[in-house]
Structure 1
Amino acid sequence: MKLRAVQATLFACVLPMAAALAAVPKTGDTPVNTFIGTQDEGNTFPGASAPFGMIQVSPITDHYAGYRYSDERIRGFGHSFLSGAGCWEQGGQLSILPVTGRIGPGGDFDTTKPGSFDHKSYAAKYSHDGEVGQAGYYKVKLTSYGGITAEATALTRAAAERYTFPAGATTGHLLLNLGQANERHSVIGSEVSVDGRSVEGRIVTKSFCGGAKYTTWFRIVFDRPVVAHGIWDDRGGWPGAKGASQQGEAKPHGAWLSFDVGQGKAVTAVSAISHVDPEGARRNLQAEGYAGGQPLAFDTMREKAQAAWQRELASVRIEGGSRDDRTVFYTALYHALLQPMTGNDADGRYRGYDDQVHTAKDWTYYEYFSLWDTYRAQNQLLALLRPARARDIANSVLKIREQGGWLPRWGYANFETNIMTGDPVTPYLVDLWRFGALQGREQEAYAALRENAFGVPAFGIRPQGRSGNPSYLRQGFVQYERSFISKGMDTDPHHGASATLEYALADGALARMAKALGHEADAQALAQRALNWRKVWDPAVVDAPTGQRGFPRPRLADGSWFADVGSGFDPRGDHGFHEGTAWQYQWLVPQDVPGLAQAMGGTAQALRRLDQFFDYDAVLADPKAVRKSWVVGPYSYYAQFRYNPNNEPDLHAPWMYTLMGQPWKTTTVLRAAETLFGNGPAGVTGNDDLGTMSAWYLFSALGLYPDAPGSGRFLLHAPRFARTEIDVAPGRTLRIEAPGAVPGQRRFVQSVQWAGRPLQRVWLDWEQLQQAGTLIYRLAPQPDTQGWGTRGASLPQAPGDIAR
């Protein structure tokens, strides 16, 4: 999901050199630069997290996502972040900033003035020189307050920070700001108490596009005595106060702790959070932040954290390319393995969508499901690389339905946000079923998916599910109705045309599952509904500048076509489509590619339209033309007719060439798109959306991409690297060989071998990938336009076979 944000095009040119400023020290053979995506609305964070970690420690600057590389001051180091999301209000709570100076009446932090404890006032300047962002470790030099070095590392449920004060300082302070978090992240209430070498409390926030309230409990212990402390609120500071102090909505609140830091001493803080209760935070701290009855030393935790990441990253091994090429690849893998996040505490307890405490025994409960984004690429990548986690993820989604009353759409912490539209949970779960992650729970999952596909949640529960179903089930399309009542920021009838396309895609996926599980009548009905994209296809619509005829178009409740006052319908406009236009969404028919081509006037005409969509001639002449042809000024989703690599609806579009018999053009487009990913802060195109864009890049580089949800097919294309090894299961390795592949250069597929035999078709099935083996591409500098992948027999079957 994307937030409408203005692209700072300057940084696309200037900030690639930031890789030199934020150089990544070597950490084995899998280099990661966590600054990639921290500029131009990539919205990643550079701080420390474990794979799928519950807690993250990262700097907060002026940006709503937490950190933007061009910002000049750090407000503090927060303990909860999302990677790459587009909504505001996304974490940063429990902010800590190390400072020097006097705290008291008339001091540097004047306890008679509440404004002294506003993080916008006390924020520290910092330097990118020496700033380090690695998998599991972050370091920065604060140039304010005499110069303080801040470091962070994190395990799954516990984290550590080390603050090294300047040699001339005798007293150092840590400001724990509970009342402020990331920019635009609203704190509803907070509570804190100080006890000896520890501090604990809770923070209630209202998060994610105006979503519901949820609570984060925390506990922090320090490696040296606290020599002085106090609490601030909306009246000022209260030296010596340590009992439970509470504050309400938007009120200043926090605590300061002072330490003897003479002779350059450092202060280490070891922390843990929980979404369950204070005992959960304490147990998480004991389980992962302690050893031998003592808090872990910072370097000990850092070593454990980085070793964990190296194990994760080393499961994919690439050969070829420069150091930058490898860094971009492994940073994409790093970003894809950050979420969904671990939701249960060390004792297995988690807070469900019914706000009750449940226990996950012998499995991990996960939270934060950006399904509208992740169903398209990141979900399939996790299933391929982490099948055990994929099973727990699938189980978590079913638990959300069991405890919250309905399947999720965009699940944040323990509530449904109702952000985004369509029916993303169906392709998400159907793919997990197809990949074996629902073994033993197939019928339960199907029942939940059927309920969602054939009904609407009760008005009294938070999820809104397929809110367009009444119209869709009756007429075959979701009506376009901007005044339709929504339970959140978004609802399907507000974007009726794109919601119809998403529903039809989901129905095609569910039809396959229904057929396999023996639900014949459902399979037939769903297969027919998979063709409902045709109900919003208006063959009379003409895009005047290009002359192309026939586009998806929103329909009103009475079945008539939407027409804007005085101008009719513009396929480049925003009416009826969510974060896109008819030009982008016209390709969202992976379940019926032959039918789509026919609607466009035949395959040849559809291919010509694809050429216009990608500005193919310009991209063929110069791959970097994409920064003019595709990424046009602001990150606008509307008034465009070309490919938008910054958003999800047409991520699959490059493979439409392959599905229509011109696979070499897929390669041309992918190599051009890969120029938007680089080893610098602007190195992600658009919001990374909880690893979605990173997963897209990985599939592009590997030579595989998931086809229509539920199909189990992975489409083949020329890889970026000469050799890749992927551990798909214990003892099984998938090898992809492409001799002659050179990152940044176009090489086209001449032939493919799988398991030692020629492969004519343009895909491998999931079962083949899981069996492992060797996939060999023979590449050439020029395409063979009559060769591999150009004949109908090489392409997937027509959608009429979905339910046969």
Structure 2
Amino acid sequence: MRVKFFVILFLSTSFLFSQNLTKYVNPFMGTNGHGHVYPGATVPFGMVQLSPDNGRGGWDWCSGYNFSDSLIAGFSHTHLSGTGIGDLCDISYMPAVFKDDISESTLVKKNFQTKFKHKNEKASPGFYSVQLDNKIKVELTTALRTGLQHYTFPNEQNKYVKLDLGFAINWDTPIETYIKVINPQKIVGYRLSKGWAEDQRVYFVSEFSKPFSKFIIANDTVAYENISELKSKKAKVILKFDENDLLIKTAISSVSIENAEQNMIADNVDWNFNKVKLEAENLWNKELSKIIAKSKDKNLLTTFYTSLYRTMLAPIIFNDANGEYKGADGNIHKAENFTRYSIFSLWDTFRAEHPLFTITQSERVNDLINSMLAHCREYGLLPVWELLGNETNCMIGYHAVPIIADAILKGYNGFDHREAYTAMKLSAMQDQFGLKLYRELGYIPADSINESVSRTLEYAYDDWCIAQVAKKLGEEEDYKYFLSRSEFYKNVFDPVTGFMRGKFADGKWRTPFNPKISDHRTHDFTEANSWQYSFFVPHDVQGLINLHGKDKFIQKLDSLFTSDSIVEGEKVSPDISGMIGQYAHGNEPSHHAAYLFNFVGQSWKTQKYVNKILRTLYNSTPDGLCGNEDCGQMSAWYVLSALGIYSFNPADQNYLIGSPLFDEVIINLSNGKKFKIAAKNVSSKNIFIQNAKLNGKTLTRSFITHEEIIKGGNLTFVMSSKPNKKLWSDKNSFPLSETKICDAKELNKLEYAEKVKQEFLHAWNAYKKYAWGFDELKPISKAFRNWYDETLLMTPIDAFSTLKLMKLENEADEVKKLIFENLSFDKNFFVSNFEITIRLLGGLLSAYQLDGDKRFLNLAEDLGKRLLTVFNSQTGMPYQQVNLKTGETKGKISNPAEIGTLMLEFGTLSKLTGNPNFYIKAKKAFVECFNRRTSIGLVGTSINVETGEWINKESHISGMIDSYYEYMIKSYLLFKDEDFKKMFDESIASVNKYLYEENQTGAWYGRCDMNSGKIRRKLFGALDAFISAVLVMGGDINRAEKVQESCYRMWNQFGIEPEEFNYETFEITNPHYVLRPEIIESAFYLYRATHNSKYLEMGKNFLESFQKYCKLDEGYASLKNVMSKEKFDKMESFLLAETFKYLYLIFAPEETLDLSKYVFNTEAHPLKIDN
């Protein structure tokens, strides 16, 4: 039995690889239109691409050939496959026949270009032939570094062959060429040129099966007599042959003629053309047999195998047989222990071709990465678009990064991971291509560099890839840094329009804006418009969804495929092609978009559109490509998608499921295992997956992993003509995203309360270590800061109530000892009455009520008495500052917030001491301000407390007014004083009438004229976010929820909230974030009021944002810019008093603090309600 098993295995394997799959490859597919591919001969990843050239310039002749043409000007040995720029076509030969014997001077001017008919052309992998209209038959085949041509001339004519080193198309220009005739059967030389490749060097050796009887060497059209070699700009040689049958083999090198000769020897190309052709065909069959597809539809098989074939035309092997190659620094290098590849069209191929290689070409992956690292050593940076040892810097991004990251994360170890990681960071930390501004601003400004939006989006993705490698290598700080940068995509998302949009350095959006506009390479997008780029966040789709809201995101994604296909602009990019709505499959930015439906539980739409793309935008004819093939990317998309999978995020080791085309596919893996994909009932109508099983078990997610493929196994789909809309509709089936979907119902509240406590302690312990006994910690410099000449223990007093609520008794006892041994208010300096009241007076009163130690009350009473003189103005409204020792006051220009936000503290002090004076003075000040409201019930921003006249007449709910409204409702709740309830009801009605508005971005409060009520400025910020809490306390929960949802959208838009922004345009007007609590405070109140779990989700997100952007090794830092996430050296005490307290209370048991028994002052110090 054992012997029989091995015989069967041998026979089946032999049969598998003996199938002639090359019959399903049509190299003419896509040669018409914008495909830009060549039909000629090459071997897999071969250095030589021997193919016909039409001799015509122009965009559609980038490969030298277009099916629309009927002329051939030569057969050259180097070609690009599917690029948007034309170059190469080096070492061009062309046969010709002339009836009459022609003079040398005439012959060198003779046009050898000849007409042909496509019916006389044939091509298959490793082979091309054509019978020219002059009856010459040309056949081409190749080995790895050597091309072999076979010319069959008609009888009774003069037979010539021209080798023209001056032949050039498109960008290419010869700089120096050299030809030397060694003997009648051998010519050597070189061609140095400049074009897309700045320093292109091709050395060659040609040998002829028959001797030429005569030769003429010329420079362009000038012939030279009696010379056997020539160095000039456009050297050429014309050879005359006497026999009808001729073979020419030509080997090339980037290093030297000698190396070209060694390459020819190493290839061992026989003069037997059919033998060499068969060897090339066998190489192709070996590679094509790595995937065996079964279908009755020959056209599908031809399109599939032609696409698989095209994935192996680039990159190409670049080093010579001895390992040498021309490096990116212009010097000669040697590839030690690896094969050096070239032609890296990385902006294109990182998306699908390189991930496909990890399945089909795993033995080459390490060499491809080593080639990129060699380029980095030679050039100083990883390749962007490398062409034959040249960095062209064509296209954008640093997309060697996702390819390298993918290899590292998939376990490839044949290269130095540390060297690779250093190289990745070098590319990301350079200053050119807008990266300096990108780091500083968090985006690339549209008024500084073209393609700013595309660059920002692609840099953000590449940064995410670096973060994943940093995490794997244990580089935690780098991980956090690059993960933060990966969210910079949010900075170019305009929530008003719902599109990615150009933004200027001053934070303003480019105006006017039209998402259909495209100006090729000169606008905000690269070869695309905003429609096509607004979905490029492959690493954080959930984050992108959050920016829109799920329903709006689905609507926008649907519109991508259903809107009209009009693209506007004076210079519309020709790359925008293959349109389905605004989806443009003819260029790479759209390639992932059809798979996005998997992230919103509508995988049936992914199946619908993927199948439509496969069946309508590809076919096996010369018109079979809808855009540039781009060195294998277009084809790799087809290959993966036809299998039913796609590398949506090329570096996350997962493949999203689409719509398979074939009855059965067998992937023969390099480890000897097989992965089989079967699609039962599949047809052109049965395109929808009803269910799927992986290795016999129901597949409950819309993706599979790379590991599952590599281990071998079976993936089985059952197909139908009707979509299964329930399939993979549950969030647990969605693909992975950096931002996780939070099901708040599943949150362990106690677990998150403990997490918040630990983060509080992280900040508290940093304060203790570096600033103990002083007012504040400077977390970056690890130093301390006092507010005034001497410490007033701001942070310890502010933190005490939080310590008590968190039951951190040891820490609370340390604070008590510090306060009672050190705190004195007998200080001869001026302080802010407002800040001292809310932080210290409120903190001490709360400490007394929570702890019971009367020494707190004694300190509070002493402080309260020292502050009382602020009320000695003519109006009774308080001055801004007071000297704690002398009672002297100053600062007559105050504001409603500083006037009103004393009531809770002074009122509580009256209750606890029995001295009504504190309450009376604070209430009088409040009423005096209220009585100066306008006829429409609004107050202004600033007022003279001596005259009672308004100085700034702008009304709003932001800083300088905000807590004025807060203390109205809280004073009623705390003291049951109906006067405050009446003031609140009247005031909030006016605020809602004149300041509140709803627009397409949400519900907001703006800034208006206090007399007319006319909105002047549509500004909203971190301080304004308190209003939802106030609305909850006032009973207006519906409005509170609307505003909180809008604030949360603002938070998600920027990753964390800015100090202030324009809610109509979503342009930031103040980019700081100083660890403010207001949005968290409102989430807390809304959760307590509604118990809606979405507010738990908000709390979780707030916590994670703090950790991601503000956390340091020790302590927390404020942000200088929420877009760039640049930190600055400040940790306000309210982080410990308010921010972490409200976060903690969102998750902690409600008995931790009963809102029926306590009211928070504006610094979140809880004060007991006197029933």
**TM surpasses 0.5:** yes
Q: Compute the displacement of 1:707 (Å).
A: 2.5
Q: 1:238 aligns with which of 219, 224, 227?
A: 224
Per-residue Cα deviation, 1:164-217 (whole angstroms, up to 9, x for no partner): 001333x41111011013344222221001122011100011122xx4122100
Aligned to 1:254: 236
Superposition pairs for residues 24-103 of structure 1, below 5 Å?
Answer: 27-28=20-21, 30-61=23-54, 62=56, 63-88=61-86, 90-101=87-98
Could you say which residue in structure 1 is the equivalent of 2:958?
none
Runs of 4+ in 1 over 4 A off after TM superposition: 26-30, 568-571, 626-629, 638-641, 801-804
Shift of 1:96: 0.7
Give the whole-Å Cα distance in 2 for the aligned partners of 1:306 and 1:218. Answer: 24
Question: What does 1:713-792 correspond to in 2, within 5 Å?
Answer: 713-742=654-683, 744-786=684-726, 788-792=727-731
Paired position in structure 2 for 1:468: 434
- Contact 2:166–2:220, Cα closer than 8 Å, also in 1: no
User: 1:217-296 to 2 correspondence within 5 Å?
Assistant: 217-234=203-220, 236-238=222-224, 241-242=227-228, 244-248=229-233, 251=234, 253-261=235-243, 265-290=244-269, 295-296=270-271
| Letter in structure 1 aligned against 2:537 | V
Q: Distance in 2 between matches of 1:573 and 1:95?
A: 38
Q: Deviations over 1:411-453 (max 9, x none)?
A: 0111100101122222222122223334552221111111222
Deviation, structure 1 residue 570: 4.9
TM alignment of 1:524-543, pairs within 5 A: 524-540=480-496
Aligned partner of 1:128: which letter?
Answer: H
Q: Which has the higher contact order (CA 8 A, sep 6+)?
A: 1
Q: How does 1:375-414 map to 2 (within 5 A)?
A: 375-414=350-389
Paired residues of 2:595 and 2:610 also in contact (CA < 8 A): no
Partner of 1:11: none
**Cα distance change on mapping 1:798 and 1:82 into 2, 3 Å:** closer
After superposition, where does 1:701-716 map in structure 2 within 5 Å?
701-716=642-657
Q: Distance in 2 between matches of 1:636 and 1:798?
A: 29
Cα distance per residue 1:453-494 (max 9 Å; x no partner): 2233xxxxxxx5xx2111111110012246xxxxxxxxxx31
Do 1:204 and 1:214's aligned partners in 2 also have CA atoms closer than 8 Å?
yes
Aligned with residue 478 of structure 1, among 444, 447, 461:
444
Report the 3-state secondary structure (helix = DSSP H, G, I; strand = E; otherwise coil) of the residue aligned with 1:116: coil
Distance 1:324 1:716, change over 3 A: same
SS at match of 2:539: helix
Counterpart in the other structure of 2:809: none
1:703-731 deviation digits (Å, cap 9, x = unpaired): 11013232111111221101000112231
Which residue number corresponds to residue 619 of structure 2? 678
CA–CA separation in structure 1 for the residues paired with 2:595 and 2:499: 20
Residue 124 of structure 1: how far off its partner (Å)? 0.5
CA distance in structure 1 between the partners assigned to 2:567 and 2:220 by the alignment: 50
Deviation at 1:374, TM superposition (A): 0.4
Matches within 5 A, 1:685-696: 685-696=626-637
The C-alpha deviation readout for 1:113-161, integer Å capped at 9, x for no partner, is: 58714xxx330011212311100000000112xx100000011111100
Corresponding position: 1:192 with 2:179: yes
1:608 alignment partner in structure 2 = 555
Name the counterpart of 1:206. 194
Q: Which moved more, 1:649-658 or 1:704-713?
A: 704-713
Structure with the higher strand share, 1 or 2 = 1
Provide the secondary structure at the position in 2 that maps to 1:451. helix
Q: CA deviation at 1:56?
A: 1.0
Letter in 2 for 1:469: L
| Counterpart for residue 545 of structure 2 | 597
Structure 1 residues 638 and 56: alpha-carbon distance in aligned structure 2, compared to 1, 3 A threshold: closer
Please state if 1:361 is matched with 2:336: yes
RMSD: 2.5
Contact 1:229 1:241 in 2 (8 A): no
Equivalent position of 1:180 in the other structure: 167
In structure 2, the residue matched to 1:646 is 586
| Deviation for aligned residue 1:522 | 1.1
- Structure 1: how far apart are the matches of 2:189 and 2:630? 30
For structure 2, the residue ranges without an aligned partner over 5 or more in a row are 1-18, 741-1103, 1109-1171
In the alignment, is the contact (CA less than 8 A) between 1:572 and 1:638 conserved in 2? Answer: no
Tell me which residue corresponds to 1:450.
425
Is contact 2:692-2:699 (8 Å) kept? yes
Aligned counterparts of 1:54 and 1:77: Cα–Cα separation in 2: 15
Once the two structures are overlaid, the 10-residue window that deviates more, 309-318 or 521-530, is: 521-530
Query: Does the 8 Å contact 2:47/2:318 carry over to 1?
Result: yes
Distance 1:271 1:235 in 2: 24
Q: Which residue of 2 aligns with 1:6?
A: none
Residues 651-691 of structure 1: CA distance to partner in whole angstroms, max 9, x if unpaired? 00000011221111111111211222111111112000001
Q: Distance in 1 between matches of 2:277 and 2:39?
A: 15
What is aligned with 1:23? none
**Judging changes above 3 Å, is the alpha-carbon distance between structure 1 residues 686 and 280 closer, same or farther for their aligned structure 2 residues?**
same
Q: Counterparts of 1:440 and 1:133 in 2: how far apart (Å)?
A: 38
Alpha-carbon distance in 2 for matches of 1:52, 1:481? 42
Q: 1:793 to 1:366 in 2, by over 3 A?
A: same
Distance across 1 between alignment mates of 2:100 and 2:424: 58
Alpha-carbon distance between aligned partners in 1 of 2:51 and 2:44, rounded to the nearest angstrom: 15
Question: In percent, how many aligned pairs have the same letter?
Answer: 31
Q: Displacement, 1:235?
A: 5.3
Give the 3 Å change call, closer, same or farther, for CA 229–27 of structure 1 in structure 2. farther
Is the contact between residue 581 and residue 639 of structure 1 (CA under 8 Å) also seen in structure 2? no
Corresponding residue of 1:576: 524
Between the aligned partners of 1:50 and 1:73, the Cα distance in structure 2 is 25
1:103/1:596 Cα in 2 relative to 1: closer, same or farther (>3 Å)? farther
Q: Secondary structure at the match of 2:66?
A: coil
Q: Give the Å deviation of 1:239.
A: 5.3
Which amino acid in structure 2 is aligned with residue 230 of structure 1?
A: I
> Are the aligned partners of 2:382 and 2:398 in contact in 1 as well (CA < 8 Å)?
no
Structure 2 residue aligned with 1:665: 605
Which amino acid is the alignment partner of residue 506 of structure 2?
Answer: D
Q: 2:456 — aligned with what?
A: 500
User: Which structure is larger by alpha-carbon Rg, 1 or 2?
Assistant: 2
Matched-pair contact (CA < 8 Å) for 2:585–2:591 = yes
| AA at the equivalent of 2:24 | P
Distance 1:799 1:581 in 2: 25
What is the CA distance between 1:568 and its match in structure 2?
Answer: 5.0
- Aligned counterpart, 2:574: 635
Query: Which of 292, 298, 317 does residue 323 from structure 1 map onto?
Result: 298
Please give the alpha-carbon distance, in whole angstroms, between the structure 1 residues aligned to 2:495 and 2:130: 58
Q: How many residues align?
A: 712
| 2:713 maps to amino acid | G
Distance 1:712 1:633 in 2: 35
| 5+ residue gaps, structure 1 | 1-25, 457-463, 483-492, 541-548, 619-625
